[in-house]
């Protein structure tokens, strides 16, 4: 995450895909090292093993694709930032290996175009845009209602590209391997567009959407690291430390759960008072509920709603949709204030107008921080840990609280602490035929919208079934 934005910026231009097989090959050579040591080469905390289930499904689909029989889109889960790297490993190593084992002949490279958030180059640096453009990336303004150039490029590649295309239908990572966030309708819409474009071109390929699930686990349960991280968060927030002897505790999961609830309640209480006092928001001090966990989640959701309203009031936006929808609209509004498309030459502005533009950009960045806090908790519910009190779920929840505190106390958003070596399981689901659905579809706009909605829901169910 970059430092606070204190001046207006030029528009974020579209980064044209310039696929380069040589750059892709270099990435493939470096991939095992990147997976292990992506951010901190000196820490034992990367991904050491990736398992692919049902990879033969993708192998057969690639064979049909290369024979011009089908077009397909890979709709993959997006719980963590490492997901694209795991997908690259799946396509570059696991699928070719399975294809060889089953006697399926594939042309190289076995790869895909992919859609990524244009904001990633803001947070990481311009070098990422250069790299992604060379390995098949299509940037999209995640918050824009209609990023025409990105959509048209992705649509063209879906129909005519030499490779399939991959998209994360959740739109962003939610930090939960065991929860699928509500899907955005773009993937289903792209599927119907592809069928329509093929029909207009008198082409007979069948169009599929392939659900792919990704889940992470730790090679060794990191209870001691979770204890360390909780202690750090308790200290940073002002709570007294509660050190425990993990090895001697007969019920360590219950102790950690109590600590997470205690820390969560404290942070929520502090943030509620923050918004009452400084943003004059009406937040109830008590919520009627006989269930402590549910009361805590109700307070969290009310707090998230309040944080979004503070930002929405500044940008003049009416609250519409779920938390994710509202975050996307606020991101669009904030970027419009910071990356000024209405100012063709920022450096040519007189000092007075430049000062006003910088003022607006800095304030927009501050207001967007309310939205960034909410983004971390869009998938949190009252039963996630209790359903499966695993080290992975404790770690995920604790890391989300780390994200929140880091965004508040640091001028830069530091990288997450790594709690140990991780393993990934990638599961390929059964392909969903979009062509079959299109055959029974009328040209009525309402019918098309309904078909997109049904397909989106069916894809959501398919992804949820892939959770272990």
Angstrom distance (rounded) from CA 167 to CA 163: 13
What distance separates the 2 farthest-apart alpha carbons in the chain?
70
Indicate the pLDDT class of residue 41, thresholds 50, 70 and 90.
very low
Per-residue pLDDT at 12: 86
Identify the band that residue 344 occupies on the pLDDT scale cut at 50, 70 and 90. confident
Average confidence (pLDDT) over 182-187:
92
- Whether residue 75 has pLDDT greater than 60: yes
pLDDT given at position 250: 58
SS3 state of residue 452:
helix
In the predicted structure, residue 1 carries a pLDDT above the cut 70? no
Determine how β-strand 165-167 pairs with β-strand 70-76. Answer: parallel
Stretch 342-360: mean pLDDT, rounded? 92
Confidence of residue 125 (pLDDT cuts 50, 70, 90): confident
pLDDT of residue 42: 42
* pLDDT for position 87: 97
The secondary structure of residue 7, as a DSSP letter, is S
Beta-bridge mates of residue 75: 167, 211
Give the best-scoring range by mean pLDDT among 95-99, 230-234, 414-418.
Answer: 95-99
Q: Which carries the bigger pLDDT value, residue 291 or residue 264? A: 264
C-alpha closest to that of 334 among 310, 355, 304? 310
Predicted confidence band of residue 284 (pLDDT cuts 50, 70, 90): confident
Nearest Cα to Cα of residue 211 among 433, 392, 393: 433
pLDDT band at 409 (very low <50, low <70, confident <90, very high): confident
Higher pLDDT, 21 or 145: 21
Terminal alpha carbon distance of the chain:
32
* Averaged confidence pLDDT in the chain: 90
CATH superfamily of 21-219+422-465: Glycerol-3-phosphate (1)-acyltransferase (3.40.1130.10)
Enumerate the CATH 3.40.1130.10 domain ranges in the chain, comma separated: 21-219+422-465
Helices (H), 280-390: 292-315, 323-338, 351-375, 384-387
CB atoms within 10 A of CB 91: 23
- Specify the pLDDT at position 418: 86
Cis peptide before 109 (omega within 30 of 0): yes
- 123 or 312: whose pLDDT is higher? 312
For residues 35-41, give the mean pLDDT: 66
Q: How many CA atoms lie within 13 A of 244 on its CB side?
A: 22
pLDDT in the model for residue 143: 62
In this structure, the strands spanning 432-433 and 206-218 are: antiparallel
Which of 20-24, 273-277, 446-450, 455-459 has the least mean pLDDT? 446-450
């Amino acid at each position: 995450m970059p430092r606070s934005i204190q001046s207006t910026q030029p528009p974020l231009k579209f980064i044209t895909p310039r696929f380069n097989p040589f750059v892709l090959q270099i990435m493939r050579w470096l991939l095992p090292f990147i997976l292990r040591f992506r951010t901190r080469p000196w820490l034992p905390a990367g991904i050491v093993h990736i398992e692919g289930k049902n990879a033969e499904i993708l192998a057969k689909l690639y064979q049909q694709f290369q024979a011009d029989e089908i077009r397909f889109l890979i709709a993959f889960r997006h719980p963590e930032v490492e997901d694209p790297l795991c997908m690259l490993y799946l396509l570059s190593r696991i699928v070719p290996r399975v294809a060889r084992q089953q006697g399926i002949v594939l042309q190289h490279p076995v790869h895909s175009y992919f859609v990524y958030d244009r904001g990633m180059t803001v947070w990481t640096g311009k070098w990422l845009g250069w790299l992604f453009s060379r390995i098949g990336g299509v940037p999209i303004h995640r918050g824009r209602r209609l990023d025409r150039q990105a959509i048209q490029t992705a649509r063209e590649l879906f129909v005519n590209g030499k490779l399939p295309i991959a998209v994360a239908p959740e739109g962003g990572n939610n930090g939960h391997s065991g929860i699928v966030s509500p899907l955005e309708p773009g993937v289903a819409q792209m599927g119907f567009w592809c069928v329509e474009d093929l029909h207009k071109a008198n082409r007979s390929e069948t169009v599929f959407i392939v659900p792919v699930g990704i889940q992470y686990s730790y090679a060794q349960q990191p209870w001691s690291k979770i204890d360390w991280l909780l202690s750090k968060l308790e200290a940073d927030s002002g709570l007294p430390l509660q050190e425990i002897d993990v090895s001697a505790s007969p019920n360590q999961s219950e102790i950690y759960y109590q600590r997470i609830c205690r820390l969560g309640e404290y942070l929520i209480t502090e943030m509620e008072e923050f918004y009452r006092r400084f943003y004059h928001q009406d937040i109830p001090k008590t919520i009627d509920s006989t269930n402590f966990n549910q009361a805590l989640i109700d307070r969290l959701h009310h707090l998230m709603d309040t944080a979004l309203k503070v930002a929405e009031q500044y940008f003049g936006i009416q609250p519409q949709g779920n938390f994710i929808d509202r975050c996307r609209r606020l991101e669009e509004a904030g970027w419009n204030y910071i990356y000024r498309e209405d100012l063709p030459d920022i450096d040519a502005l007189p000092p007075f107008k430049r000062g006003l533009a910088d003022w607006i950009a800095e304030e927009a960045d501050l207001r967007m921080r309310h939205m960034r806090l909410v983004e971390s908790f869009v998938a949190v519910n009252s039963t996630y840990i209790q359903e499966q009190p695993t080290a992975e779920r404790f770690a995920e929840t604790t890391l989300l609280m780390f994200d929140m505190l880091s965004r508040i106390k640091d001028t830069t958003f530091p990288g997450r602490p790594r709690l140990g070596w991780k393993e990934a399981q990638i599961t390929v689901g059964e392909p969903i035929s979009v062509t079959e659905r299109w055959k029974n579809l009328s040209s009525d706009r309402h019918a098309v919208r309904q078909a997109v909605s049904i397909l989106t829901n069916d894809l959501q169910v398919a992804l949820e079934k892939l959770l272990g």
